[in-house]
Amino acid sequence: MILLGSTGSIGVNTLNIARKFDLNVEVLVAGRNIKLLNEQIREFKPKKVVIDRKEDISLVCHDNISFGETAILEAIENSSSKTVVNALVGFLGLKPTLKAIECGKKIALANKESLVVAGKFIDQKNLSPIDSEHFGLWYLLQNKKIDSMMITASGGSFRDYPLDKLSNVSIKEALAHPNWSMGNKITIDSATMTNKMFELMEAAWLFDIRKLDAIIETKSLIHAFINFVDGSTTAHIANTSMQLPIAYAILGRCDEQILKPVNLIDIGNLEFKKIEVSRYPIWEIKDEILNNLDLGVVLNAANEVAVSKFLNSQIGFLDISKITMNAIKKFNNVNPTSIDEIFQIDKEVRKYCEL
């Protein structure tokens, strides 16, 4: 396989699966965690390594190394591997997704932004999502008429935080996720509920459905529900690990135990909560977004700028959603007709939000 984002949480879990099933890793692509990358190189012995910055090349223990976006695309094109695991974070992951499609490779997609910003231009024929929610929905699909789909949210770092104190929360507090260990960007997106908005948009593209919603399930053990027209509902329950969806995305099917089964007696009880606009202001535009998926490129670009500003102590936590919602109002009429227009809109939105 070609693994993009090898040192992030998805990348590390992907390598756990590669180790378990003795899978060949031809290419490793990583960011700035060179120490962990070198450990991965020693164990998995890739033919090719790509990193983020030129200045880190001398620190990497490999003799076939390059850097930057162009190098990632070339590695995908020149590799003999048939599978690309795209675990890059943000808009950066779109071009590699498009390149993998162009090369006819199977894509195990953890880069949700690819579908969020350019879903209508992405051929899903060889694509499998790496996301516990979408994996859960796929797992539950039966040959029965579906009424609606629902995914769950953890509620993020501030699900129980006093509302009147949200404007003054620290970066450290925002990064303290109660259930999952994830990168900074996705942890902030979880706290604002923007990540769940992305996942609803992904589900809309993946399953061609618009009747979608999300609720908070505080233990992150139920990942998805499907409501059928006969009035019945099925739920997908699994422990909090990404290794199960990763295994299926790479292998196609899996007939041996990947996770320890959930013991409901030990769990005792589950708690569900409504996603309230008072705590998650971005939820106010959920229906607008689902009724106009073209807004995904605006939502993502504005959110990436806003999250970066927050992590650089330039704005407060609640300003993240304000910046995003202002951008949605400003660019409400976008209608991209090509991939080139997606990149152009992305630039315009970022420019507007940087002001």
72 and 51 housed in the same domain:
yes
285 and 147 housed in the same domain:
yes
83, 57 contact by CB (below 8 A): no
Residue in 63, 98, 105, 102 with CA at minimum distance from that of residue 80: 105
On whether residue 137 sits in a domain, the answer given is no
Query: How many domains, in total, are found in the chain?
Result: 2
Q: List, in order, residues 6 or more apart from 90 with CB less than 8 Å away.
A: 111, 113, 185, 300, 304
- 């935080």: which residue's tokens? 161
> What is the domain-level CATH number for residue 54?
3.40.50.720
Give the HSE-up count for residue 215: Cα atoms under 13 Å, Cβ half-sphere. Answer: 14
pLDDT in the model for residue 180: 67
Domain that holds residue 207: 142-239+261-291
185 and 230 housed in the same domain:
yes
Note down pLDDT in tens along the chain; length 355 residues. Answer: 999 999 999 999 999 999 999 999 999 999 999 999 999 999 999 999 999 999 999 999 999 999 999 999 999 999 999 999 999 999 999 999 999 999 999 999 999 999 999 999 999 999 999 999 999 999 999 889 999 999 999 999 999 999 999 999 999 999 988 776 778 999 999 999 999 999 999 999 999 999 999 999 999 999 999 999 999 999 999 998 899 999 999 998 888 999 999 999 999 999 999 999 999 999 999 999 999 999 999 999 999 999 999 999 999 999 999 999 999 999 999 999 999 999 999 999 999 999 8
77 and 177 housed in the same domain:
no
293, 119 contact by CB (below 8 A): yes
C-alpha R_g of the chain: 20
Question: 233-237 and 2-4: which strand pairing?
Answer: unpaired
85 and 199 housed in the same domain:
no
3-state per-residue secondary structure call for 103-142? CCCEEEECCCHHHHHHHHHCCCCCEEECCHHHHHHHHHCC
79 and 201 housed in the same domain:
no
pLDDT in the model for residue 65: 97
The full length of the chain comes to 355
Report the alpha-carbon distance of residue 75 to residue 117 in Å, rounded.
23
36 and 165 housed in the same domain:
no
On whether residue 329 sits in a domain, the answer given is no
- Cα 351 from chain centre: 24
Please, what sign has the CA dihedral across residues 141, 243, 31, 197?
Answer: positive
Beta strands per DSSP E along the chain: 2-4, 27-29, 48-51, 65-67, 83-86, 106-109, 127-129, 146-153, 212-217, 222-228, 233-237, 272-273
> Model-level pTM?
0.94
90 and 223 housed in the same domain:
no
